[in-house]
Amino acid sequence: MRRLKRGALGVMWALGGVLISVLMWELVKWLGGVISLPMNTSDSAMPHVWTMIGGVGQPEVRGSETTVLEAVVAASAYSLLIALGGFIIGVSVGLLLAIVMQRFAFMERGLLPFVIASQTVPLIALAPLITGIGNRISVGPVQWNTTYSVMFIAAYLAFFPLSVGALRGLQAPTATALELMRSYAATERAILFKLRFPASLPYLVPAMKVSAAAAVVGTVVAEISTGVKGGIGRLIVEYAREATAQPAKVYVAVFGAICMGLIAAAIVTALDVYLTRNLPKESRA
């Protein structure tokens, strides 16, 4: 019952946040018509909320039976699959790095600065480079394509939050708990799976949520940078070119990308509920 109430309260807060965003959007647009603002609030650049809602049912192309909503849903689903693949790869690499750095102190001192430095490279410059190198790779009948490059970039952004969060979580057990495990002659593998992993869940889940969001962002940006077709990133670029005639279309595509991030976070939340289903309520508060 308590979980149900908390869930209902969360939904109410989410709806309240959406309502406040809508009111602020319309307020800024109204102020733009009254006073001079340092931004373009015209209908072509900043359409009304009801105009964006009406754009959902517009034909994607004149004379086409496919609506903008259907095109955005299909493109978002395609990008979400790529982001999911990048997320799985990034989480696997990040968790492996965290285990290695936790197990060997010299590896943490040697690898962690490079892990942090890897995130300082501008993604917009990295995407064409990865695509150019990847297109030359082939393993037997498997030929690297641009979709693999997008997934690689998503994994590149996803591994960092997970590796840092997992490392902090694996180091969370107290000296007393570690000494107790060693007094039972537990091996390092047993300590890892029976003590360190359970203790790291409060750190792993938030890190996975950040990694999921980073994978979605990486996918969208990589699709825009590499020009891969079929995804929401490419659709945003195509709709942006039509913004003068149909300004609502590009916002519908942007909302599709936002929904991708929300779905990714919901998947991680569901995984959190599954992993912590047997834990005491005090440790899940």
Check residue 25 and give its pLDDT.
Answer: 83
In a domain, 41, yes or no: no
In a domain, 37, yes or no: no
Check residue 88 and give its pLDDT.
Answer: 94
In a domain, 13, yes or no: no
Average pLDDT for residues 235-248, to the nearest whole number? Answer: 78
Of 42 and 279, the one with more pLDDT: 42
Q: How confident is the model at residue 239 (pLDDT cuts 50, 70, 90)?
A: confident
Q: Give the DSSP per-residue string, the chain.
A: -HHHHHHHHHHHHHHHHHHHHHHHHHHHHHHHHHS--SS--STTTS--HHHHHHHTTSBSSTT-S-BHHHHHHHHHHHHHHHHHHHHHHHHHHHHHHHHHHHH-HHHHHHHHHHHHHHTTS-HHHHHHHHHHHHTT-EETTEE--HHHHHHHHHHHHHHHHHHHHHHHHHT-S-HHHHHHHHHTT--HHHHIIIIIHHHHHHHHHHHHHHHHHHHHHHHHHHHHHH--SSSHHHHHHHHHTTTTT-HHHHHHHHHHHHHHHHHHHHHHHHHHHHHTTTS-HHHH-
Check residue 243 and give its pLDDT.
Answer: 66
Average pLDDT for residues 63-91, to the nearest whole number? Answer: 89
Q: How confident is the model at residue 283 (pLDDT cuts 50, 70, 90)?
A: very low
Q: Is the pLDDT of residue 2 over 70?
A: no
Q: What does the alpha-carbon distance between residue 95 and residue 37 come to, in Å, rounded to a whole number?
A: 47
Work out how many domains the chain is built from and give that number: 1
Check residue 100 and give its pLDDT.
Answer: 92
Check residue 284 and give its pLDDT.
Answer: 44
Q: How confident is the model at residue 279 (pLDDT cuts 50, 70, 90)?
A: low
In a domain, 180, yes or no: yes
Predicted model pTM: 0.83
pLDDT tens digits for range 95-115: 999 999 998 888 888 888 888
Check residue 30 and give its pLDDT.
Answer: 82
Q: Name beta bridge partners: 138.
A: 143
Across the chain, mean pLDDT equals 83
Residues 6+ apart with CB under 8 A from 249: 55, 58, 60, 68, 239, 242, 243
pLDDT-wise least confident of 102-116, 183-197, 264-278:
264-278
Q: How confident is the model at residue 124 (pLDDT cuts 50, 70, 90)?
A: confident
Check residue 92 and give its pLDDT.
Answer: 94
In a domain, 181, yes or no: yes
Check residue 4 and give its pLDDT.
Answer: 59
In a domain, 212, yes or no: yes
The boundaries of the domain holding residue 88 are 61-284
pLDDT-wise least confident of 45-54, 55-64, 144-153, 196-205:
55-64
Query: Both tokens of residue 64?
Result: 């086409």
Check residue 281 and give its pLDDT.
Answer: 55
In a domain, 21, yes or no: no
In a domain, 19, yes or no: no
Q: How confident is the model at residue 252 (pLDDT cuts 50, 70, 90)?
A: confident
CATH number at residue 88: 1.10.3720.10
Of 38 and 96, the one with more pLDDT: 96
pLDDT-wise least confident of 26-30, 58-62, 116-120:
58-62
Check residue 78 and give its pLDDT.
Answer: 93
